[in-house]
C-alpha cells in the first residue's frame, strides 16, 4: 500500500530550524530519522502525517562522544554505527549487542538508536539495553530542554513540539560489564523476549550491583528486581544464574500476542536470563585475565 499523500516536507539544516518547524506543525507532523518504523507504519496506513520533518541534514547529531563523565549518542547515530563503536563495545556492550541484534543490515544502516526509543514499541531491542545502562533521552524544544529516563518513555511522554537530540548515560565505572540477548520468531526479527544485564564486579569477582531488564513484554521493558537481587553481593555461579532465571520468570508478567504465548515468553525469560548473565561473566573474566 502507498501512504496517504503528505502535504509538506521539510529538511532543516540546523536544530533551531527543526525545533521551530516542530513547534509550528506540532501534532500534525512526524519527524523522520531512519524511517524504518515510520515509513512501514505510513505505508500500512497505521499512521498518516500531513507534514514530515526530515532530521537527516542536521549537523552535530551523528556522533558518539564522551562529555565529562557521560556518553552521548546523537539522534542520527545508526544502529550499525552503534554496534561498531569501539568505546560502546568496551564500556556499554549491552547497547552494541542490542544494536547488532536489530533487523538486517539495511535496517541497521538506516535505523537510529534514538528513533527506536522514540517509537516506543515494546518489542524493541534498544530499550532494555538503554534502561540497564540508566540512560536518559535529551528532549529539546524551542525554549528549553529536559532529560527523561528511558524507563519513563511511553506513548505521549515526548511532546509533539520536542526533538530528542541525544541519548545519554554516565560512563560505566571500571568493573562494569553488560550484555544483551534476544529471541525473535526468525533471525532479523523483533524480539519476542530480549534481556539486558549489567553487573558491577569488585576485584575479587564479587558482584556489587546487578541490573536485569526484560523487553518484549507489555507495555514496556521491565526491571527484574528479584532476579537481580539473587546475583548481587555474591560470586556468580551457574546455580545462581539458574536461580536468577527462575526468579525473573516468576516476577515478570508476560502476554499472549500474535508473536508468542505468555507461557512461551516466560520460558524464554527463564532460559535467557542465565545466558545473558553468563555472557556478562565471560566478559568480566576475559578482561580480568
Ligand atoms: C524489516 C525491519 C526489521 C526490524 N527489526 C527490528 C528488530 O529486530 N529489533 C528492533 O528493535 N527493531 C526492529 N525494527 C524497527 C526499527 O529498527 C527501529 O524501530 C528503527 O530503528 C527506528 O529508528 P528510525 O531512525 O528508523 O526511526 P523513524 O522510523 O524515522 O522514526 C520512528 C518514530 O520516532 C520518531 N522520531 C525519530 N527520531 C526522533 C527524534 N530525534 N526525536 C523525536 N522523535 C523522533 C518519529 O517521528 C517516529 O514516530 C525493524 C524494522 C524493519 C523495517
More confident residue, 186 or 136: 136
If you measure from the C-alpha of residue 116 to the centroid of ligand 1, how many angstroms do you get, rounded to a whole number? 4
- Which atom, in ligand 1's list, is nearest to the CA of 124? 11
| 25 neighbors 53 (Cβ within 8 angstroms) | yes
DSSP for residue 6? P
pLDDT at 32: 96
For the cut 80, the answer to whether the pLDDT of residue 188 exceeds it is no
Q: For the chain, which domains are there?
A: 8-54 (3.30.43.10), 64-169 (3.30.465.10), 176-288 (3.30.390.50)
- pTM of this structure: 0.96
Average pLDDT over residues 54-73: 94
Residues in contact with 250: Cβ distance below 8 Å, sequence separation at least 6, in sequence order: 226
Give the ranges where the chain is alpha helix by DSSP (H): 15-25, 38-43, 79-84, 86-91, 93-100, 105-110, 113-119, 126-132, 225-230, 238-251, 262-288
| 205 neighbors 284 (Cβ within 8 angstroms) | yes
Q: Per residue in 132-178, pLDDT tens?
A: 999 999 999 998 999 999 998 877 788 889 999 999 999 999 999 99
Q: Looking at ligand 1, which residue's alpha carbon is closest to its atom 49?
A: 119
Query: Ligand 1 pocket, 119 CB below 6 A?
Result: yes
Q: Per residue in 192-203, pLDDT tens?
A: 999 999 999 999
Query: Ligand 1 pocket, 42 CB below 6 A?
Result: no
If you measure from the C-alpha of residue 40 to the centroid of ligand 1, how many angstroms do you get, rounded to a whole number? 10
If you measure from the C-alpha of residue 202 to the centroid of ligand 1, how many angstroms do you get, rounded to a whole number? 37
Q: Looking at ligand 1, which residue's alpha carbon is closest to its atom 41?
A: 164
- Which atom, in ligand 1's list, is nearest to the CA of 78? 25
- Which atom, in ligand 1's list, is nearest to the CA of 75? 41
For the cut 90, the answer to whether the pLDDT of residue 125 exceeds it is yes
| 80 neighbors 113 (Cβ within 8 angstroms) | no
Q: Looking at ligand 1, which residue's alpha carbon is closest to its atom 2?
A: 103
- Which atom, in ligand 1's list, is nearest to the CA of 165? 41
Query: Ligand 1 pocket, 92 CB below 6 A?
Result: no
- DSSP strands (E only) in 101-184: 136-141, 144-149, 163-170, 176-184
pLDDT at 59: 87
CA 155 centroid distance within chain: 15
If you measure from the C-alpha of residue 37 to the centroid of ligand 1, how many angstroms do you get, rounded to a whole number? 4
If you measure from the C-alpha of residue 247 to the centroid of ligand 1, how many angstroms do you get, rounded to a whole number? 32
Q: Looking at ligand 1, which residue's alpha carbon is closest to its atom 40?
A: 164
Average pLDDT over residues 243-257: 96
- Which atom, in ligand 1's list, is nearest to the CA of 30? 47
Which of 77, 74, 62 minimizes the C-alpha distance to 108? 77
Q: Classify strands 136-141 and 163-170 as parallel, antiparallel or unpaired.
A: antiparallel
Which of 26, 68, 72 minimizes the C-alpha distance to 49? 26
Amino acid at each position: 500500500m502507498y501512504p496517504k499523500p503528505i502535504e509538506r516536507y521539510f529538511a532543516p539544516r540546523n536544530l533551531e530550524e527543526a525545533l521551530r518547524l516542530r513547534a509550528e506543525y506540532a501534532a500534525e507532523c512526524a519527524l523522520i530519522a531512519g524511517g524504518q518504523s515510520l515509513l512501514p507504519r505510513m505505508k500500512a496506513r497505521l499512521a498518516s502525517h500531513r507534514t514530515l520533518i526530515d532530521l537527516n541534514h542536521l549537523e552535530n547529531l551523528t556522533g558518539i562522544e564522551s562529555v565529562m563523565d557521560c556518553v552521548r549518542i546523537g539522534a542520527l547515530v545508526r544502529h550499525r554505527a552503534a554496534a561498531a563503536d569501539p568505546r560502546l563495545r568496551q564500556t556499554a556492550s549491552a547497547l552494541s549487542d542490542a544494536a547488532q541484534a536489530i533487523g538486517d543490515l539495511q535496517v541497521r544502516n538506516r535505523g537510529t538508536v534514538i528513533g527506536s526509543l522514540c517509537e516506543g514499541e515494546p518489542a524493541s531491542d534498544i530499550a532494555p539495553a538503554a534502561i540497564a545502562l540508566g540512560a536518559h533521552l535529551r528532549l529539546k524544544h524551542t525554549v528549553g530542554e529536559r532529560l527523561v529516563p528511558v524507563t519513563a518513555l511511553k506513548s505521549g511522554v515526548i511532546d509533539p513540539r520536542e526533538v530528542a537530540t541525544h541519548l545519554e548515560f554516565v560512563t560505566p565505572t571500571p568493573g562494569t560489564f553488560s550484555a544483551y540477548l534476544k529471541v525473535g520468531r526468525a533471525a532479523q526479527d523483533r524480539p519476542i523476549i530480549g534481556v539486558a544485564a549489567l553487573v558491577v564486579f569488585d576485584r575479587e569477582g564479587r558482584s556489587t550491583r546487578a541490573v536485569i531488564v526484560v523487553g518484549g513484554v507489555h507495555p514496556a521493558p521491565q526491571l527484574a528486581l528479584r532476579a537481580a537481587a539473587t546475583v548481587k553481593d555474591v560470586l556468580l555461579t551457574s546455580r545462581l544464574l539458574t536461580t536468577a532465571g527462575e526468579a525473573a520468570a516468576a516476577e515478570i508478567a508476560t502476554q499472549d500476542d500474535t508473536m508468542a504465548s505468555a507461557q512461551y515468553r516466560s520460558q524464554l525469560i527463564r532460559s535467557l536470563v542465565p545466558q545473558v548473565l553468563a555472557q556478562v561473566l565471560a566478559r568480566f573474566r576475559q578482561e580480568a585475565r
